[in-house]
Amino acid sequence: MKKIQRQKKTTNPLPDRELAKPILPGTAPTDYERYLRTEELLSLQKKVQELRHPDEMTFQVVHQSTEIMLKGALHELERARVCITRAEFNEACHLMRRAGMLIDPTISLLHVLETLTPYDYHVIRAGLGHGSGLDSPGFLGLLHMGPRLGDAFFGQLGKAHISPEEMYRRYREFPGLHDTAECLLDFDERVQLFRYHHLKLAERIIGGGVIGTSGVMVEILHQRLSHSFYKPLWEVRNEITNRVNLQAQKPGSKRP
């Protein structure tokens, strides 16, 4: 019997050389570069011959990377805000967690800047004009977004006719609101951590008792550390603990 030879199946209808050719519009040699617009992105830093100090490249890349990451975080937080207004709490939490993952690297990037020595930084600083991290569009966007998320959440709490304390006490009845509240606190905490690490960076590089490039005393950064977006969600912990402590003081009572 003649052996029937099976033809090898191919999952690639196009020759490899055809797949290697870019099909997206642009001039870059690959679609990867065209899609991400790497030619433009990687031309946004100073040329080597323009640097005031070799460390300025790191300084600029860190700040530009931070702005990109925060732009992504703000996009997800706005989507989350819309979901909260629609009572789509699971999706809102998913998006806020993703935003947190985008914010976390920006805190780590602050530590990269701590590798600059004070005298070298002041060489770079001479070219900043009045520029300051306090003018960061991404961080200012977080400060603007925080209250808007809070308005959406507390609006839903009002619709449910419950207080923050009731929500935590009856969390099994309101799992969506409870999880959203915890995600809001995660976001609030990240912003506070960013503030703290930015302050320590400033103290480490330029000192704690001086005026920064924007004309703001570094001491003011200390004062801003106490700011939080969702005070009712932080303060309700005190209320819960006081209630439990009072209950425990009653004869024959058991802690929950």
Q: Would the pLDDT of 5 be above 70? A: no
Check residue 227 and give its pLDDT.
Answer: 86
Q: Would the pLDDT of 28 be above 90? A: yes
Whole-angstrom Cα distance, residue 114 to residue 126? Answer: 18
User: Euclidean distance between the first and final Cα of the chain, in Å?
Assistant: 81
In a domain, 81, yes or no: yes
In a domain, 178, yes or no: yes
For residue 217, what are the β-bridge partners?
A: 211
**At a CB cut-off of 8 Å and minimum separation 6, what does 114 contact?**
200, 201, 204, 205
Check residue 173 and give its pLDDT.
Answer: 97
Check residue 132 and give its pLDDT.
Answer: 81
Q: What is the pTM of this model?
A: 0.85
State how many domains the chain has. 1
In a domain, 65, yes or no: yes
With a pLDDT cut of 90, the percent of the chain lying above it is 71
**At a CB cut-off of 8 Å and minimum separation 6, what does 99 contact?**
72, 73, 74, 76, 77, 80, 187
Whole-angstrom Cα distance, residue 106 to residue 109? Answer: 5
Average pLDDT, the chain: 89
Closest by alpha carbon to 92, among 5, 12, 152, 171?
Answer: 152
Check residue 1 and give its pLDDT.
Answer: 47
The residue-averaged pLDDT of 242-246 equals 89
In a domain, 30, yes or no: no
Q: How many CB atoms lie within 10 A of CB 252?
A: 4
**At a CB cut-off of 8 Å and minimum separation 6, what does 21 contact?**
none
What 3 state SS string does the chain have?
CCCCCCCCCCCCCCCHHHHCCCCCCCCCCCHHHHHHCHHHHCCCCCCHHHCCCCCHHHHHHHHHHHHHHHHHHHHHHHHHHHHHHCCCHHHHHHHHHHHHHHHHHHHHHHHHHCCCCHHHHHHHHCCCCCCCHHHCHHHHHHHHHHHHHHHHHHHHHHHCCCCHHHHHHCCCCCHHHHHHHHHHHHHHHHHHHHHHHHHHHHHHHCCCCCECCCCCEHHHHHHHCCCCCCHHHHHHHHHHHHHHHHHHHCCCCCCC
The residue-averaged pLDDT of 20-39 equals 93
- Structural domain including 152 reads 53-206+218-233
For residue 211, what are the β-bridge partners?
A: 217
Span 157-214, pLDDT tens digits: 999 999 999 999 999 999 999 999 999 999 999 999 999 999 899 889 888 766 655 5
**At a CB cut-off of 8 Å and minimum separation 6, what does 148 contact?**
81
In this prediction, residue 250 has a pLDDT band, given cuts at 50, 70 and 90, of confident
With a pLDDT cut of 70, the percent of the chain lying above it is 85
Q: Which amino acid is at 231?
A: K
Q: Read off the tokens for 199.
A: 């302050």
**At a CB cut-off of 8 Å and minimum separation 6, what does 212 contact?**
132, 134, 202, 206, 218
Winning range, highest mean pLDDT, from 144-148, 203-207, 217-221, 222-226: 144-148
Q: Would the pLDDT of 7 be above 70? A: no
In a domain, 252, yes or no: no
In a domain, 6, yes or no: no
Q: Would the pLDDT of 19 be above 80? A: no
The CATH number of residue 225's host domain is 1.20.58.480
Check residue 194 and give its pLDDT.
Answer: 95
Least confident residue range of 48-62, 72-86, 155-169, 225-239: 225-239
Least confident residue range of 63-72, 145-154, 159-168, 243-252: 243-252
Q: Read off the tokens for 160.
A: 């449910």
More confident of the two residues 186 and 19? 186
Check residue 210 and give its pLDDT.
Answer: 63
